[in-house]
């Protein structure tokens, strides 16, 4: 089990380096569920009501980097590369 942990840590470090994430920073991935009710007046997906990225980052502090996953509303298997 120890070797598995060491390999995972090394993979994580390489991924952070590839994304230019400074050493010591923690990464938070926010992946909301997008539903038809999440559409704004222009038909684009929007974050949930009351969600404020600035408030979240203030709460987390400077140790965190936030990634928000937003799938395209027109995504289909034929778009994958």
Q: In the chain, what is the straight-line distance between the N-terminal and C-terminal CA atoms, in Å? A: 34
Give every CB contact of residue 16 below 8 A, 6+ residues apart in sequence. 23, 25, 27
pLDDT digits (tens, 9 = 90+) for 13-65: 888 888 888 988 888 988 877 666 666 677 666 677 777 888 989 999 999 99
pTM: 0.57
């Amino acid at each position: 089990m120890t070797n598995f942990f060491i390999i995972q840590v090394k993979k994580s470090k390489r991924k952070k380096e590839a994304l230019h994430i400074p050493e010591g920073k923690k990464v938070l991935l926010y992946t909301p569920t997008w539903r038809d009710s999440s559409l704004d007046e222009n038909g684009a997906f929007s974050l949930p009501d009351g969600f404020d990225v600035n408030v979240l980052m203030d709460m987390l502090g400077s140790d965190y980097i936030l990634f928000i996953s937003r799938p395209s509303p027109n995504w289909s298997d034929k778009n994958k590369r």
